[in-house]
Structures are given as structure tokens and as C-alpha cells.
Amino acid sequence: MKLLNKLLIASAFSGLLVSSAFSAEATYNYVPISKGVKSIDMELNDEKFTIMRNQSKTNKISPLYETTFRGAPQPISLADGLETLGELEFIEYMKKAQTDENIAIIDSRKPGWFAKLRIPGAVNVPFTNFDEKDTAIEMMEDEMGVVQNDDGTLDFSKAKTLALYCNGYWCGQTPGMVKNAEFALLKMGYPVEKIKYYRGGMQAWTSLGFTVVGSGE
């Protein structure tokens, strides 16, 4: 009898938790970004936009990211001391980048992908630029705050904090820029603590219905 009572209590408690979860979900008449937040207005890199999740109940993930036949999943951590971001953390970096020129939101994909669909406010720095030393240095100087000294050495003292993304969990373009390319950021001496990796990328972003721009084709 005692065992039966314990089972009944456990079942009731479990039902209460489920009920509470549904109740919490039902408190919103919209799809939130986070608790109580429906949208965020931003202006980044001369682009004005509103970050929100698509509010249509019939909205579906973009055909560009609906298939699962993709490459091997990338590791959660690309290197010791390198932070991996989720959507909310990535959005926080976007918000900070509006007023902090020491933060750069970077899309590391090839220009074709960038034109098709991208996160608004991002700057396109294709990972292929890091296959050669001269273009790698040029990108770091132009977009990342790195200075090349007269003797050819690189000064990273004012290097920007980079929030990088590519196509998704399986995409090797950001990992290529960070560590795998011939002249990848880490190989060139970029401070690991100033590199942030949004691993979910476009596949995760679109799966949550977040704002995107581009041709969609």
C-alpha cells in the first residue's frame, strides 16, 4: 500500500510539472526570443532590422536547411579557451556590437551562401581568404582590428572579439577560418579568447524562425 501511495504521489507530481510547463508556455500569445521578449530592434553595420521569431504557425524552416544529408558534425569546442555560443548569446553579441566597435559579427561562408540567406547585420568574411597569407592578413586588418607592423609581424593588441557563424553544426567553413585553413586565425596568432563560435549557424537560426535576409534561393 505504501508503495502504491508513493507511485500515485510521484505520478501526480509529474503531472503537475507537465501541467506547469504547458501553463508557462501558454502565458505567451507569441513565439518569444526569451522570457517576455518578442522582438529586438537593431542597427548594425548600417543595416536597420528587427530580430524576432516568425510568428506564423504555418512557418517552416527554409528549404536551404531542411535536409539532414550533410557533412560530419563539428566539435562543440574548436579549441581550448574558445567559447561556443547558442542563439541567445549570439544575439547578445549582436546587441553589443551596435555600440562597441571592438566586436565583429562575421559570416564566414562563401559569398554565394551569404547572398542566399544570412543573419542581418553580419559582415561577410569568407573562410577561403585564409588559404593564403596575404588575403588572411588583409581580412584581419580590414575587419578584425589587427595591425601589421613594418617588420611583418602582427599586432593583436586591438584585435576585435569575433562572433562567427556558418551554415550549421555540420559546416566546416567557420572551423576552417578558425583553425583548419593554411593561415587560419589561431595559426596566425589571433587571441583564442576573442573568438566566439556560433556552432548552430544558419540551420539552427532558421529552425527557430529567427529573422533572416537574402534571396532565399
pLDDT of residue 18: 39
pLDDT in tens, 36-88: 999 999 999 999 999 999 999 999 999 999 999 999 999 999 999 999 999 99
Closest CA to 174 of 116, 115, 114, 121: 114
Q: What is the pLDDT of residue 11?
A: 47
pLDDT at res. 26: 53
Q: Are 210 and 87 in contact (CB under 8 A)?
A: yes
Nearest CA-CA partner of 173 in 119, 106, 117, 122: 106
- What's the pLDDT at 13? 42
Q: Are 75 and 194 in contact (CB under 8 A)?
A: no
pLDDT at 215: 86
The span from the CA of 194 to the CA of 117, in Å, is: 26
- In this structure, are residues 183 and 133 in contact, taking their beta carbons and an 8 Å threshold? yes
Q: Is 90 exposed, middle or buried (0-12, 13-18, 19+ CB in 10 A)?
A: buried
Res 8: pLDDT: 42
**Segments of the chain scoring below 70 in pLDDT:** 1-26
Q: Which three cell numbers stand for residue 159?
A: 584585435
* Cβ atoms of 107 and 124 closer than 8 Å: yes
- Please tell me the distance from the alpha carbon of residue 133 to that of residue 187, in angstroms, as a whole number: 11
**pLDDT over 70 percentage in the chain:** 88
Q: Which three cell numbers stand for residue 99?
A: 555600440
Start-to-end CA span in the chain (Å): 64
